[in-house]
Chains A and B, each alone.
Chain A
Amino acid sequence: MKLKILMASMLSISLFACTSKQEAEDAAKNSPSPVEAAAEQPEVHGVEIKDLELTNPLNKEWITNGEKIYDSKCLSCHKLTDEKVVGPGWKGVTQRRKPIWIMNMILNVEIMLDEDPEAQLLLEQCLIRMPNQNLTHDEARQVVEFMRHNDGEK
Chain B
Amino acid sequence: MKIYHLITATAVPLLLLALTGCAPKNPTQAITGDAAEKVYVAPGKHDAYYSFVSGGFSGQVSVYGLPSGRLFRVIPVFSQDPQTGWGYSEETKPMLNTSHGFTPWDDSHHIALSTTNGEHDGKWVFINGNNTPRIARISLKTFRTEEVIEIPNASGNHSSPFLTENSEYAVAGTRFSFPLDYDGETVDVPINSYKKNFKGTVSFVSINKESGNMAVAFQLLLPGINFDLSRGGRGPSKDWFFFSCYNTELANTLLEVNASQKDKDFIMAVNWKKAEQYIAAGKGKKLNVNYAHNVYSDETHTSTSTMIKEILALDPIELKDIVYFMPCPKSPHGCDVDPSGKYIVGSGKLAALIPVFSFDKMIAAIAAKNFEGEFEGIPVLKYESVLHGEVKKPGLGPLHTEFDGKGFAYTSMFVSSEIVKWNIENLTVVDRVPTYYSIGHLSIPGGPTAKPHGQYVIAYNKITKDRYLPTGPELTQSAQIYDISGEKMKLLLDFPTIGEPHYAEALPAKLVEPNSVKFFKIEDNKHPYVTKSEKEAKVVRQGNQVHVYMTCIRSHFVPDNIEGIKMGDVLYFHITNLEQDWDVPHGFAIKGANNAELLIMPGETATLKWSPDRVGVSPMYCTDFCSALHQEMQGYVRVSPAGSSTPLKWSTGETPEANLSADVK
Interface residues of A (CB under 8 A from B): 1, 5, 8-9, 11-13, 15-20, 23-24, 26-28, 30-32, 34-41, 71-73, 75-77, 85-86, 127-129, 131-135
Residue of B nearest to A26 (CB): B407
Contact yes or no, A75 B49, CB < 8 A: no
Contact yes or no, B3 A1, CB < 8 A: yes
Interchain CB contact (< 8 A) of A18 among B10, B46, B48, B431: B431
Residue of A nearest to B627 (CB): A128
- Could you tell me the distance in whole angstroms from the C-beta of B130 to the nearest C-beta in chain A? 32
Which chain B positions have C-beta within 8 A of A129?
627
Residue of B nearest to A127 (CB): B628
Residue of B nearest to A11 (CB): B18
Chain B residues 480-498 with CB under 8 Å of chain A are: 485-488
Contact yes or no, B406 A30, CB < 8 A: yes
Q: What are 13 residue pairs bridging A and B, where the CB atoms are less than 8 Å apart in the complex?
A: A9-B14, A9-B17, A15-B21, A20-B430, A27-B486, A30-B406, A71-B532, A71-B533, A71-B534, A73-B580, A75-B534, A76-B558, A132-B580
Which chain B positions have C-beta within 8 A of A75?
533-535
Complex CA gap A133/B535 in Å reads 18
Contact yes or no, A72 B578, CB < 8 A: yes
Complex CA gap A22/B501 in Å reads 36
Mask of B405-448 contacts with A, CB within 8 angstroms, 1/0: 11110000000000000010000101110000000000001000
Which chain B positions have C-beta within 8 A of A131?
553-554, 579-581, 584
Contact yes or no, B47 A9, CB < 8 A: no
Looking at B131-139, B297-305, B508-516, the stretch in contact with chain A turns out to be B508-516
Interchain CB contact (< 8 A) of B431 among A12, A15, A19, A30: A19
Contact yes or no, A5 B14, CB < 8 A: yes
Q: Is B636 an interface residue (CB 8 A)?
A: no
Which chain A positions have C-beta within 8 A of B554?
77, 86, 128, 131
Contact yes or no, A128 B653, CB < 8 A: no
Complex CA gap A30/B407 in Å reads 9
Contact yes or no, B407 A27, CB < 8 A: yes
Complex CA gap A17/B406 in Å reads 21
Contact yes or no, A23 B430, CB < 8 A: yes
Contact yes or no, B47 A32, CB < 8 A: no
Q: Is B264 an interface residue (CB 8 A)?
A: no
Interchain CB contact (< 8 A) of B453 among A1, A28, A35, A135: A35
Contact yes or no, A37 B47, CB < 8 A: yes
Interchain CB contact (< 8 A) of B485 among A5, A13, A34, A86: A34
Complex CA gap A41/B558 in Å reads 35
Q: Is B629 an interface residue (CB 8 A)?
A: yes
Once A19-B430, A40-B46, A127-B629 are accepted as A-B contacts, the answer to whether A76 and B22 lie under 8 Å apart by CB is no
Q: Is B89 an interface residue (CB 8 A)?
A: no
Mask of B1-30 contacts with A, CB within 8 angstroms, 1/0: 001000100110010011011110010000
Q: Is B522 an interface residue (CB 8 A)?
A: yes
Which chain B positions have C-beta within 8 A of A72?
522-523, 532-533, 578
Interchain CB contact (< 8 A) of A38 among B487, B509, B519, B523: B509
Complex CA gap A132/B510 in Å reads 26
Contact yes or no, A23 B423, CB < 8 A: yes
Chain B residues 36-53 with CB under 8 Å of chain A are: 41, 44-49
Which chain A positions have C-beta within 8 A of B553?
76-77, 131
Which chain A positions have C-beta within 8 A of B405?
32
Which chain A positions have C-beta within 8 A of B45?
37-38, 40
Complex CA gap A18/B428 in Å reads 10
Which chain B positions have C-beta within 8 A of A36?
48
Complex CA gap A66/B468 in Å reads 58
- Could you tell me the distance in whole angstroms from the C-beta of A62 to the nearest C-beta in chain B? 17
Q: Is B306 an interface residue (CB 8 A)?
A: no
Which chain A positions have C-beta within 8 A of B10?
5
- Could you tell me the distance in whole angstroms from the C-beta of A124 to the nearest C-beta in chain B? 11
Which chain B positions have C-beta within 8 A of A26?
406-407
- Identify the 7 closest CB pairs spanning chains A and B, nearest first: A24-B487, A16-B21, A71-B533, A38-B46, A12-B17, A76-B553, A18-B22
Residue of A nearest to B426 (CB): A23
- Could you tell me the distance in whole angstroms from the C-beta of B385 to the nearest C-beta in chain A? 29
Q: Is B114 an interface residue (CB 8 A)?
A: no
Residue of B nearest to A16 (CB): B21
Residue of B nearest to A13 (CB): B23
Complex CA gap A8/B3 in Å reads 17
Once A9-B14, A38-B47 are accepted as A-B contacts, the answer to whether A128 and B629 lie under 8 Å apart by CB is yes
Interchain CB contact (< 8 A) of B628 among A13, A35, A128, A134: A128
- Could you tell me the distance in whole angstroms from the C-beta of A32 to the nearest C-beta in chain B? 6
Which chain B positions have C-beta within 8 A of A128?
554-555, 627-629
Q: Is B261 an interface residue (CB 8 A)?
A: no
Complex CA gap A93/B620 in Å reads 35
- Could you tell me the distance in whole angstroms from the C-beta of B561 to the nearest C-beta in chain A? 16
Q: Is B153 an interface residue (CB 8 A)?
A: no
Contact yes or no, B11 A5, CB < 8 A: yes
- Could you tell me the distance in whole angstroms from the C-beta of A111 to the nearest C-beta in chain B? 14
Contact yes or no, A37 B48, CB < 8 A: yes
Which chain A positions have C-beta within 8 A of B428?
20, 23
Which chain B positions have C-beta within 8 A of A12?
14, 17-18, 21, 23
Q: Is B454 an interface residue (CB 8 A)?
A: yes
Interchain CB contact (< 8 A) of B580 among A16, A127, A133: A133
Contact yes or no, A133 B629, CB < 8 A: no
Contact yes or no, B406 A27, CB < 8 A: yes
Which chain B positions have C-beta within 8 A of A20?
428, 430
Which chain B positions have C-beta within 8 A of A77?
553-554
Which chain A positions have C-beta within 8 A of B226?
none
Q: Is B640 an interface residue (CB 8 A)?
A: no
Residue of A nearest to B65 (CB): A38
- Could you tell me the distance in whole angstroms from the C-beta of B590 to the nearest C-beta in chain A? 21
Complex CA gap A20/B407 in Å reads 14
Complex CA gap A40/B513 in Å reads 12
Which chain A positions have C-beta within 8 A of B44?
40
Contacts A17-B21, A35-B49, A40-B44 aside, 9 further interface pairs with beta carbons under 8 A come to A18-B23, A19-B488, A27-B408, A31-B485, A32-B453, A35-B508, A37-B41, A73-B522, A127-B629
